Amino acid sequence: MTDFLEFLNTAEPQAIDELPGVTAALAEKIVAARPFASIEDCGRVSGLTEKKVAKLQADYEKSLQPEPITEDQPSETPVVIEKNDQEKPEANKPPHKNVAGRVIAWIVVLLLLAGAVYAVIRWGIPFIYDKYVKPVQTNAAELTDLASQQSSDIAGLNDRIATLEARITALEGRADGFDKSLAAHDESLAQLENMQKLLDQQMATQKSDLLDDLDVRIALTRGIELLSRSRLYLSESNYGLAKDDLQSCRDLLYTLQDRLPADQLGAMKIVLNRLDMALTNLPAYPVVAVYDVDTAWQYLVDGLPNVPTQVVTPLVLPPTPTPEPTQTEPAQTIEATATATVEVTAAP
């Protein structure tokens, strides 16, 4: 064993290569790993297992034993057996590499790779594009469209909000003005009612034409205020309160017919007629009622002007000339008919 370990530590690579089963590459590894402290230390070399080291040791010791003496050769003559490199077993030589086979193998591998690349380009890329890339692009386009639509909707909504805010501001200002006007009318009506009560008390104790005329004027003013407040209610579509004020005004003005001058009775009848029509049209036809209320209000504001009387003047047309009778036809008398037209003239 010591001789084999010394052989491994001191022999040339060519001598180690001559051992059966040792290639030139393994011999170089053994030389590079020397020195070895023991046979087990040879396991550090890649490719030298414990079993292979034991076989190499057996082959080495076997090669040191002399060959047996045959009958044809004397025993005292040592026989030196020289090993020729050409007589080495085929197992001790490095494996022969077939260059042509490797080239063919590489060509086959390259052809397979080229086929795989062509298949990926021909079918794989369109499949990946249709399966993954195209849906992503479609979703991105839809998201862009949705974002644009959302931006447009938000802009439109902002415009609507601004418009509504402006309308709300206008309505708030209108409501404030309505409240102020309504409060003013309420205050005026309260004052007029108090004044009329005082006049009624004075007229109960002291009857005079001046007080009576003043009382009529106050009543007419109250009627104007009631119609004005009714118009405010109609502008706010509050038809219930508007109808109440119209009814109160109608009742108040109806009591004044016997106390008005003759030249104001015609206008008062028109006012009462308009109020009756307005009460009839509410709440079904508020637009028509507004026209009637405005007409009655205007008559009261103008001081019940004298209404023109209607004059019917008959108009007699001259008779139509009679045609001359012929011999074949008997004489016929054509009587002319007078047509009367009605002409309406306004008295000053």
Q: What is the mean pLDDT of residues 38-67?
A: 80
Residue 187 pLDDT class (50, 70, 90 cuts):
confident
Architecture of the domain spanning 2-92 = Orthogonal Bundle (1.10)
CA neighbours closer than 13 Å in the CB half-sphere of residue 238: 13
Q: Summarize pLDDT for 11-24 with one digit per residue, the tens.
A: 888 888 888 878 88
Average model confidence (pLDDT) for the chain? 78
Q: Assess contact for 289 and 250: CB atoms under 8 A.
A: no
Q: How far from 329 is each of 321, 322, 323, 326, 333, CA to CA, in Å?
A: 18, 14, 12, 5, 12
The predicted pLDDT at position 214 comes to 87
Residue 284 has pLDDT above 80, yes or no: yes
- Sign, CA torsion 144/145/146/152: positive
The predicted pLDDT at position 26 comes to 83
Q: How far from 14 is each of 10, 19, 39, CA to CA, in Å?
A: 12, 9, 20
Q: Among all chains, which residue has been given the structure tokens 């005004």?
A: 249
Residue 339, both tokens: 């047509």
The predicted pLDDT at position 323 comes to 55
Q: What is the mean pLDDT of residues 18-44?
A: 82
Q: What is the mean pLDDT of residues 156-182?
A: 82
Residue 226, both tokens: 């009631």
Residue 215: partners with Cβ closer than 8 Å, 6 or more residues away: 196, 199, 200, 203
Q: Assess contact for 188 and 179: CB atoms under 8 A.
A: no
The predicted pLDDT at position 277 comes to 96
The predicted pLDDT at position 246 comes to 95
User: In this prediction, what percent of the chain has a pLDDT beyond 70?
Assistant: 75
Q: Among all chains, which residue has been given the structure tokens 């380009």?
A: 121
DSSP state of 339: -
Q: Assess contact for 213 and 205: CB atoms under 8 A.
A: no
pTM of the model: 0.40
The predicted pLDDT at position 318 comes to 59
CA neighbours closer than 13 Å in the CB half-sphere of residue 256: 29
The predicted pLDDT at position 164 comes to 85
CA–CA distance, 202 with 239 (Å, rounded to integer): 37
Q: Summarize pLDDT for 57-110 with one digit per residue, the tens.
A: 888 888 777 655 554 444 444 444 444 444 444 444 444 446 788 889 999 999
